[in-house]
Structure 1
Amino acid sequence: MPGDPHPRSAHRAIPEGGLAVLTRQALAGPALARQVLARQGLTRQAAPQHRQTRAAHTRSAHAHSHAARPQRPRRGPWRRPSREPQQAQRALQTLMSGMGAVIIVSIIGLSAFFIIADERRGLGDSAAAPAVSSAAIASREVDAEPLSQREVFPQPEIRLVAGTAPYQVTMTHIDTDCDVATTGELGALLAEHGCNQVVRAGLTAPFGGYQVTAGVFNLAEEAGATLVSSQAGPLVETGRGSFAAMGGLGSDPLAEPLAQVGWHQRGHYLLYCVIARPDGRLVEDDDPYAERITADLIGRYLDETIISSRAGQP
């Protein structure tokens, strides 16, 4: 600052080496300043030369700094990702979901078909039967009264609905040997589970003239009747045993090859029927008359009327 009453000294390195003493003279003139510089062998170009040197060093340092600084990698232009792979993946997921739904529906449909087919052939419980057997007919210990012809077939006809044509009862039969009402291996299976009675009748259906044998086997216990009912299916399907029509040869498994049979277990009883066409032709599985006869005689009559009375049900 001009006019500073306390001059201060400063030191600065010069290019040629040594130190230059700079004294601030507030009141000295230009001539005195030149003389001081002349005595020390300095010229006025020293200061600019030093400033140039410092500028050069500064530029060199900047250049070195730029050279040493790592360059950023260049990036290409940004592009929006393609949606085609995502759309293809969504389409595949939709297709797989649809195929899974079709497979599930097919499995359900096949299961329902086989269940209905088994019920129609007598391999399952009758739709008209109660879901749970009554304790009153769980075994012969609690249901000790034997069956009789009068109890099972008391009338010469069976009329299920008032005003409709009845089933005509042509003959009845009762026996303590259950084998007489069977063919093949079925008789031995019934005897193994304590069958001691069979009550049956020959009937003529009110439509189509179909000839029918319907009856009841009296087994020892409900568990045995259930087992016989389930094992009768493979015997019938393979021709190793079946239910016999009245008048047929009970020991011959081929006596009624054209008939259709149906059966159902209720308590310790096994209910059954054998259906034959009047012309002797094969009774097909989907025969509408055979289906109705099975539902009428096993479901509505023997089960809901005769056995339900034993169970104390109305």
Structure 2
Amino acid sequence: MLTRQALGGPALARQAFARQGLTRQAPPQHRQTRAAAPRRGPQRRAPREPQQALQSLMSGMAALIITSIVGLSAFFIIADERRGHGGDSAAPPPPVSSLAISSRALDDKPLTQGEVFPEQEIRLVSGAAPYQVTMTHIDTDCQIATTGDLGALLAENDCSQVVRAGLTAPFGGYQVTAGIFNLADEGSAALVTDKAGDLVEEGRGSFAAMGGLGSDPLAEPLAQVGWHSRGHFLLYCVIARPDGQLVADDDPYAERITADLVEQYLGETIVAKRAIEP
């Protein structure tokens, strides 16, 4: 569950084929005439024209029905192939296993700066303005990225490393620190995620910012933090306004930044890669 909270303020939890009809015109009727022997009195013609018109109409309707059946059959064949039953269907997405990232014992490859922040920018949508990465840092001392009692809590749950970066958001000029803590297992990550809420709300500990945000968010109570766990990882971000004003709990930019970096980028792009079964 994603948690967002303004430092020094109340806690806020956020979870964050139609086909064209075919028509066929009935063939034109050709009246046949032939010479007849002269008769006395008025001549009467047998009522053949209505029958011919009806037959032509029925023939046209039958042709239209057959054409429609053929067209619908082709449509369902194509649709069936697109669903993956045809020989040219696209390959299915790779399977994802939550078990693969349930513990560091199973997922024993350490995080690296190149894995978590490989580029100088993070572009979540093609053509959209990117987040600019201004600095990156990796450390085996998890307490360096925290303040107060949060560092001790991470140490108790066997945090082995933290990888983080300083970023500038593409909207509002907001300054952000985002990162990943590597814990022993998903139970430990969930426990820290839960207890961090009390620490932040009570002012007894929090996540530290980088660079221009200052090293102690407790001394910068105007910032907002967001965090949640996935597997044996704890993902977080610290957000500050460029004008130094309070980042309110309902700040739309902060909400967007937390969703973009914590949930989508760190959670779905970086950590999820480790959950793909070989």
Q: Report the TM-score range of the alignment, normalised by the length of the smaller protein.
A: 0.5 to 0.7
**Aligned residues of 1:213 and 1:273 also touching (Cα < 8 A):** yes
Per-residue deviation, 1:313: 6.9
- Asked whether 1:291 is paired with 2:255, we answer yes
Partner residue, 1:224? 188
Residues 1:276 and 2:208 are matched in the alignment:
no
Within 1, Cα distance between the matches of 2:191 and 2:12?
12
Kept in 2: contact 1:123–1:229 (CA 8 A): no
Residues 165-187 of structure 1, C-alpha deviations (whole Å, 9 max, x = no match): 00000000000000010010000
> Which residue number in structure 1 is paired with residue 224 of structure 2?
260
Between the aligned residues of both structures, percent identity stands at 73
**Does the Cα contact within 8 Å between 2:100 and 2:277 map onto a contact in 1?**
no
Q: Which amino acid in the other structure matches residue 151 of structure 1? A: E
| Contact kept? 1:203, 1:212, Cα under 8 Å | yes
Partner of 2:140: 176
Change (3 A) 1:312 1:126: farther
Alignment map for 1:180-191 (pairs within 5 Å):
180-191=144-155
Question: What is the letter of the counterpart of residue 243 of structure 1?
Answer: F
For 1:136, which of 91, 100, 122 is the aligned residue?
Answer: 100
Q: Distance in 2 between matches of 1:268 and 1:166?
A: 28
Are 1:241 and 2:205 an aligned pair?
A: yes
Q: How does 1:199-218 map to 2 (within 5 A)?
A: 199-218=163-182
State TM-score, norm by structure 2: 0.65
Larger relative contact order (Cα-Cα within 8 Å, sequence gap ≥ 6): 2
SS at match of 1:189: helix
Contact 2:121–2:132 (8 Å) recurs in 1: yes
1:145 aligns with 2:122: no
Q: Which has the higher helix share?
A: 1
C-alpha change, 1:119 and 1:199, in structure 2 (3 Å) is: closer
Q: Secondary structure at the match of 1:232?
A: helix
2:124 & 2:246 partners in 1: Cα distance? 27
Match of 2:37 in 1: none
1:287-306 deviations in Å (ceiling 9; x for gaps): 00000000000111000000
C-alpha distance in 2, partners of 1:125/1:286? 10
**Unpaired stretches in structure 1, ≥5 consecutive residues:** 1-114
Structure 1: how far apart are the matches of 2:252 and 2:217?
Answer: 25
1:239 and 1:172 map into 2 onto residues whose CA distance is 27
Structure 1 residue 221 displacement after superposition: 1.0
SS class of match (1:270) = strand
Shift of residue 124, structure 1, vs aligned partner: 5.3
* CA shift in 2, pair 1:178/1:207, >3 Å: same
* Whole-angstrom distance in 2 between the partners of 1:238 and 1:224: 21
**Displacement after TM superposition at 1:253 (Å):** 6.0
Q: Is the 8 A contact 1:133 1:266 kept in 2?
A: no
**Partners of 1:278 and 1:298 in 2: how far apart?**
20
Aligned to 1:159: 123
Classify 1:274/1:120 alpha carbon distance in 2 versus 1 (closer, same or farther; 3 Å).
closer
Give structure 2 stretches of 5+ with no counterpart.
6-10, 17-95
CA–CA distance in 2 between the matches of 1:245 and 1:144? 27
- Distance verdict in 2 for CA 1:145–1:123, change over 3 Å: farther
1:249 CA drift (Å): 6.2
1:198 to 2:170 alignment = no
The offset of 1:265, in angstroms, is 0.3
Is contact 1:158-1:168 (8 Å) kept? Answer: yes
State the Cα deviation string for residues 107-158 of structure 1 (Å, max 9, x = none): xxxxxxxx9xx8444875754xxxx980001111000000000000000000
Letter in 1 for 2:150: L
CA distance in 2, matches of 1:153, 1:205: 15
Give the C-alpha shift of residue 255 in structure 1: 2.8
